[in-house]
Amino acid sequence: MIKNENNENLVLALAQFNPAVGDVEKNANHIRKIRAEAIESNDDTPDIIVFSELCICGYSPEDLVFRKSFLSLIDKEVKKLAEETADGGPALLIGAPVLDDGNCYNSALLLDNGKVENVIYKHHLPNYGVFDEIRLFKQGPLPEPVDFRGFKLGIMVCRDIWEKDVPEYLKKQGAELFVVLNASPYEQEKIVTRVQTVCDNIRETAIPLVYVNMIGGQDELVFDGASFVLDHNASLKIHLPQWKETVQNTIWKRNEYGILGCRDIQISKMQNVNESVYHAMMFGLRDYVNKNGFPGVIIGLSGGVDSALTAAVAVDALGADRVRCVMMPSPYTSKESLEDAKAGAEMLGVQLDNISIVPAMNAFDGMLEDVFAGKEKDVTEENIQARARGIILMAMSNKLGYMVLSTGNKSEMSVGYATLYGDMCGGFSVLKDVYKTMVFDICKWRNENKPEEALGSEGLVIPDNVITKPPSAELRPDQKDEDSLPSYEVLDDILKCFIEEELGIQDTIAKGHDEKVAKKIWKLLHQAEYKRRQAPLGVKITKLSFGRDRRYPITNAYEGTS
C-alpha cells in the first residue's frame, strides 16, 4: 500500500460512530474495523480517518479518568492502533484522555507511521450545563498546526472551534484546513446553533473545516452526529445524517490560489423538531437499555397520552418483543382508559397484563384505619394508589429482569405533579425533558410518520382518543389535570420562562401571564426540587434539563420576584 505523497489531493474520511463509555477494547476494535473497511472499499483509500472526541473511551468518562488503570488501558489500546498504521494505510485521528506529567488532558491523537505522531490538547474546557471538564482535565496550550503528508492541519477538540482565539491562532501559524473532533450532545435546535457558530469563525478565518461529531446515548445525554464540512467561504459541502453511524470520504484539492477546497457535495435532509426529538428519545432509550444489558422494559400503560407515547418510543427503540405493558385499574379508572390502553397495546403488538390495585387499596385502608380515624380522604389516598402501582411494576421488574420506564413529562416533573415511590418508580424516563404540549405534538407526528430505523409498525401506534381526551391522573372521581393546574399551553409557557429563559416572576408577568398563576407555578417549581433529585434520569432534550443542567438547592428561600 502506497501513501499519498504527491501533495495534490488529500482524501479525508469522517467517521461518526457510537462508542461505549468504559469499553475501551470494544471501541478500539470498532475504530480498527472502520479502518479495515476503508482499505478494502472500492472507493479512494483515505489518507486519514477522523473520529470524534474521546472516542476511544466514550464521552463523558467522568471520574474514570482519575483511575490510572483506566488511563493505562487506553494508552495500551492507542499504541496498538498506532502500530497498525505502519502498514502504509490510513492514518487515524482519534480522541483520548492522555496522562502527561501527572495531568490528564482531553486530547486528539494522530496515529501514523506505526506510532503516535502528534498529540493535541484541548484548550477550552467547557464548565457549564452538562459539562464538567475543568474538574476532569487540565487546560492545554493553544495548539500548533500539524504537518500531514504535505498539508497543514489545524486540529481542535470540540469547544475550541466555538471560541475565536484558537482558530485565529491556527490560521496565523499557517493552518490550511481545520479538523475538529467533537462530542456535542443533542438538544432542540442545537444542530442549527452548531453550524451557525462554526460558520461565523470560518468566515473570519477563511479556512475550510471538517467537523466530526459522535453519535450514541450515554446516560441522559444523546449525541446526534450530523457531522459536516465547510468550504473556506463557510458554504456547507457535506452534512452527514443524524443518528446514523456513517463513514464519508471527502477529497480535498488546492485551487490556483493555493486554497484547499472540498470536491464533494452531500447534504442530508434536516429533521424537523418533532422528528429530531422523537429520534433523540428513541436513540437514548435504546442505548441505555442495550449498553446496560437489560433484556427489555416494563411500562404502566394507563390509557393516557404519556404512557402511550413512552410505549411507542420503547417499541420503536427495542422491538415489541422486548416491551411489556401492564394496566393497573382502580375504581376511578374509566372504561374509556381501559379501552384505550388495550387498543394502544394491540396497535404496538405488545403484551398487556391487567392487574387491579383494588385489593391493595382495600388492604391499606384497613391497615391505616385506626391511624387515619376521623380524617377526611385527601391526596394521601391518591398517593397510595400510585405507590401500589409502583410496587407492582417493581415486582415485575425484579422477577422478569426488565427495567421499569417511568412515564412522567417535564411539565409534571416541574410542578411536582408526580408521586415519589409511585409513578416516579423506574430506571429511566423517556419523557423527562419533554413538555406536555410537545408530548401531544410528537404523538400526532408519530401516528403520521415512522422513523426509518424504528422497529415498530407503520400507521397509527397511539389511539386518537388518547390524544384528544382531557388529561387525568384518575385518582379520584371525575378528576382532570386542569383541576389543579392551568391549561398545559399556559403552564408550559410559564415553565419555559422560569426554566429555559431563567426569568423571574415579574419578567414572566410582563410577558402576559397572570400574576397569581405565575406565583403559584414558581412556588410549585421550587417546592418540587426534592422530588426531582430522586427521579430517574431521562434523555436531555431542551437547553436546561433537570439534572446536571440545572442545579438548584432543595432548601431554598429565594422568592424569585425579579
The Cα angle at residue 135 between residues 74 and 198, in degrees rounded to 5: 80
Strands 146-148 and 115-121 come out as: unpaired
Q: Is 303 helix (H, G, I), strand (E, B) or coil?
A: coil
**How far, in Å, CA of 178 to CA of 109, rounded?**
15
Give the C-alpha separation, 214 to 222, whole Å.
9
C-alpha distances in Å from residue 68, one per residue of 63, 72, 131, 315, 426: 11, 6, 22, 40, 34
Find cell 391493595 and name the residue.
360
Residue corresponding to grid cell 485565529: 168
Among residues 465, 520, 472, the alpha carbon closest in space to that of 495 is found at: 520
Omega cis (within 30) before 337: no
3-state helix, strand, coil in the chain (%, to 5): 40, 20, 40
The Cα 461–Cα 453 span in angstroms is: 16
> Exactly one of 77, 122, 237, 443 is catalytic; which is it?
122
- The neighbour count for residue 310, using CB atoms within 10 Å, is 29
Query: Would the CA dihedral through 44, 50, 56, 59 be positive or negative?
Result: negative
The DSSP H or E segment spanning 165 is helix 165-172
Helix (H) or strand (E) run with residue 283 in it: helix 273-291
DSSP state of 415: H
Eight-class DSSP state of 145: P
Q: Which residue of the set 55, 57, 77, 158 is catalytic?
A: 158
Name which of 319, 325, 326, 324 is nearest 290 in CA terms.
319
Strand ranges in 219-344 using DSSP code E only, listed in sequence order: 221-224, 228-230, 236-239, 246-254, 260-262, 266-267, 297-300, 323-327
Is 57 a known active-site residue? no
Catalytic, out of 53, 176, 187, 474 = 53
Computed on alpha carbons and rounded to an integer, the radius of gyration of the chain in Å comes to 26
Any catalytic annotation for residue 158? yes
**Nearest alpha-carbon partner for 407 in 326, 307, 316, 528:** 307
Alpha helix segments (H runs only) across 401-428:
410-415
Return the closest-CA partner of residue 61 out of 51, 76, 75, 71: 71
Q: Contact at 8 Å (CB) between 83 and 114? A: yes
Catalytic annotation, residues = 53, 122, 158
